[in-house]
Structure 1
Amino acid sequence: MPLTIRQLRYFVAAAESGQVSLAAVHLNISQSAVTTAIRDLENLLGVSLFIRNTQGVTLTDRGRHFLNHAYQVLRTVDDALNLPHSDENASGRIRLAASYTVQGYLLPYHLQRLNQWYPNITIDLFEFERAEIEQKLLDDSIDMALVLTDNLTDEAIHSERLFRSERRLWIPAHHPLQQKAHLTLEDVGKEPFIMLTVDEADLSAMRYWQHKGMEPNVILHTSSVESVRSMVANGLGVAILSDLVYRPWSLEGRRIDTRSLDDVVYPMSVGLAWHQDKEFTPAIRAIYDYFREVYLTPEQHVQRKG
């Protein structure tokens, strides 16, 4: 029986969620399909990838090792499926800025592909906070930016959303909130809360808290995503952050689980921004078309869901 990409995707989903049932929800398939795929994968490899218990599933040592390889294989497959139509004749220079979250968790992957597909385009890369990005777009210090589009304020800045990243509750493994059938901000409000501040994450968070007329029980404001990750993993508090920055393990190797909330928690929107009067050069147009094709082409959305 050959190894399949589907088995790898189901295995990764279960490893990241810590529950087969939750993986099935995220994949929009039946729980039995995930269970069967993982069992077939374990039979093929001849090892146990998970420890099963009433709380969910936990990776074995072999499972953790295999997860790293699974990530590499799936990244390679995604590269092959989502290749943009390159224009080898495109040339020029673009001054591209990104905010912290986009720079750290999204852009490096695309920069490698852009360098490969557009070798005659020079990308001058900058990292700024949102307010500085807006100002530099207005005074033409930069050409285009990848930002959290919901945070933009100046009407002269045109933006186009590429995708949304859902915000979910981060909790340590086996936290009591994991057992609740329905989970609301009122439940979260009783817990110590770690508030991320980078990229105006605290301002975004307060929008949905204030919508409910509530405030979180904040015990720490921090600009470090890794600090949030470690604090949550070690049972010192909970957080609500986007899937874009989620990783299932802290630096100490402790697990972090996620749960969707029944209350409205606005997703994080990531997209392109430029001055409304900006004239697109061939280089700017090529980069613009690249991101639109990767994220907005319907056929590629279907491929990524498969």
Structure 2
Amino acid sequence: MNLKHLKYFVATAESGQVSRAATALSISQSSVTSAIRGLEEDLGAELFLRSTSGMELTDAGREFLNSARDILDKLAQARRLTPRPESVAGTISIAATYTVMGYFLPFHLDRLAQLYPGLEIRLSELNRESIEEGLLSNRFDMAVLLTSNVANPDLDCTTLFRSTRRLWVANDHPFNRRGKATFEEIAQENYIMLTVDEAAHTAMRYWSLTGLSPKVRLRTSSTEAVRSMVANGEGVTILSDMVYRPWSLEGKRIGTVATDREIPTMNVGLAWRKGMVPTGPLATFHDYFRQYYLSPQGAVPA
């Protein structure tokens, strides 16, 4: 047993699929499979129930997941970088959209606080239109948002990463067992439409290219409501991997399925006033994200 094995196990447990865990970790599926088999041999217990729809934790697997997370959390704390000697000090005003605030920023805010304790970040959560207005009126220094939704020519953007969109279905849905669905088939299903962060507008944009329309049963701004409705078999939806979790609040499993047509990715990144050059504390914030996502090393240098 080693730390890589624990990391691969946790990724598989959280994603529910070896393929998704391998993609997230940028390794081969065989590496993940071998690690899990090694853990099971080491522990003398089966950690997953394997099926065509994915990997479901056994009772032993759920118990071991808590221990594995504790170990990895302790390691992360031990490896936390000490504050830079040339401490950055100052206040910046950052705006973010709902999805970014909920599913992207918390990890990085904690890391920035560890790296730069003198950097104060004043956060505002708003919709895209209000953020764009705030950037252009100098109310905000920079924004973290869905750059795939930004089309204002007076703003500059940097996309940090692209999150794949997939079809979400209940674990026992025929699509999940098959592993693929066509848009013609999806159009026959009840559809749960998320509306927050222009998700409905984006969905209808790519649906319109198919010549089909989703049979919308419910429109909601709650991602958890969508998750529960799908897990309960009340409908299907198409959302990004960034907001995907394999379980609903009721503990029911959610599967993801490939589609026959390519779906645009959900892109997350930074935006600021056109021509503005970040300096001082804002440059620190800007450079942190660029180095974390866009540098060859994929991490802020020590």
- Using structure 2 for the length normalisation, give the TM-score: 0.89
Residues 171 and 239 in structure 1, CA contact (< 8 A), matched pair in contact too: yes
1:274 to 272, 275, 281: 272
Deviation at 1:116, TM superposition (A): 1.3
Aligned pair in 2 of structure 1 residues 71, 167: CA closer, same or farther (>3 Å)?
farther
Residue by residue over 1:61-88, the C-alpha shift from the partner in whole angstroms, topping out at 9 and shown as x without a partner, is 2212333444455567678899699573
1:229 aligns with 2:227: yes
1:148 aligns with 2:133: no
Residues 84 and 293 in structure 1, CA contact (< 8 A), matched pair in contact too: no
Residues 17 and 257 in structure 1, CA contact (< 8 A), matched pair in contact too: no
1:265 aligns with 2:263: yes
Equivalence for 1:199 = 197
Classify the secondary structure of the residue corresponding to 2:191.
strand
1:118 to 116, 119, 123: 116
Residues 17 and 258 in structure 1, CA contact (< 8 A), matched pair in contact too: no
Partner amino acid, structure 1, of 2:60: R
Classify the secondary structure of the residue corresponding to 1:299.
coil
Aligned pair in 2 of structure 1 residues 37, 238: CA closer, same or farther (>3 Å)?
same
Classify the secondary structure of the residue corresponding to 2:114.
helix
Partner amino acid, structure 2, of 1:36: S
Sequence identity percentage: 51
**Range moving further from structure 2, 34-43 or 185-194:** 34-43
**Range moving further from structure 2, 80-89 or 176-185:** 80-89
Aligned pair in 2 of structure 1 residues 285, 20: CA closer, same or farther (>3 Å)?
closer
Equivalence for 1:162 = 160
**Range moving further from structure 2, 242-251 or 58-67:** 58-67
**Range moving further from structure 2, 177-186 or 237-246:** 177-186
Deviation at 1:17, TM superposition (A): 4.6
Residues 80 and 114 in structure 2, CA contact (< 8 A), matched pair in contact too: no
Superposition map of 1:1-306 within 5 A: 2-5=1-4, 7-20=5-18, 32-53=30-51, 55-71=53-69, 73=71, 86=84, 88-180=86-178, 182-300=180-298
Residue by residue over 1:7-39, the C-alpha shift from the partner in whole angstroms, topping out at 9 and shown as x without a partner, is 234323433454446656776766554433212
Deviation at 1:258, TM superposition (A): 0.9
Deviation at 1:296, TM superposition (A): 0.6
**Range moving further from structure 2, 238-247 or 11-20:** 11-20
Paired with 2:106 and 2:20, the residues of 1 have a C-alpha distance of 29
Partner amino acid, structure 2, of 1:292: R
Aligned residues: 299
Residues 248 and 257 in structure 1, CA contact (< 8 A), matched pair in contact too: yes
Residues 96 and 144 in structure 1, CA contact (< 8 A), matched pair in contact too: yes
Paired with 2:111 and 2:26, the residues of 1 have a C-alpha distance of 29
Gaps of 5+ in 2: none
Aligned pair in 2 of structure 1 residues 262, 68: CA closer, same or farther (>3 Å)?
farther
Aligned pair in 2 of structure 1 residues 223, 191: CA closer, same or farther (>3 Å)?
same
Residues 91 and 283 in structure 1, CA contact (< 8 A), matched pair in contact too: yes
Paired with 1:25 and 1:111, the residues of 2 have a C-alpha distance of 25
Residues 165 and 242 in structure 1, CA contact (< 8 A), matched pair in contact too: yes
Deviation at 1:208, TM superposition (A): 1.2
Aligned pair in 2 of structure 1 residues 277, 87: CA closer, same or farther (>3 Å)?
farther
Partner amino acid, structure 1, of 2:130: E
Equivalence for 1:304 = none
- Using structure 1 for the length normalisation, give the TM-score: 0.88
Partner amino acid, structure 2, of 1:197: T
Classify the secondary structure of the residue corresponding to 1:110.
helix
Residues 88 and 120 in structure 1, CA contact (< 8 A), matched pair in contact too: no
Paired with 1:174 and 1:69, the residues of 2 have a C-alpha distance of 29
Paired with 1:277 and 1:207, the residues of 2 have a C-alpha distance of 30
Partner amino acid, structure 1, of 2:154: A
Gaps of 5+ in 1: 302-306
Aligned pair in 2 of structure 1 residues 23, 199: CA closer, same or farther (>3 Å)?
same
Classify the secondary structure of the residue corresponding to 2:181.
coil
How big is the alpha-carbon RMSD for the aligned residues of Structure 1 and Structure 2? Answer: 2.6
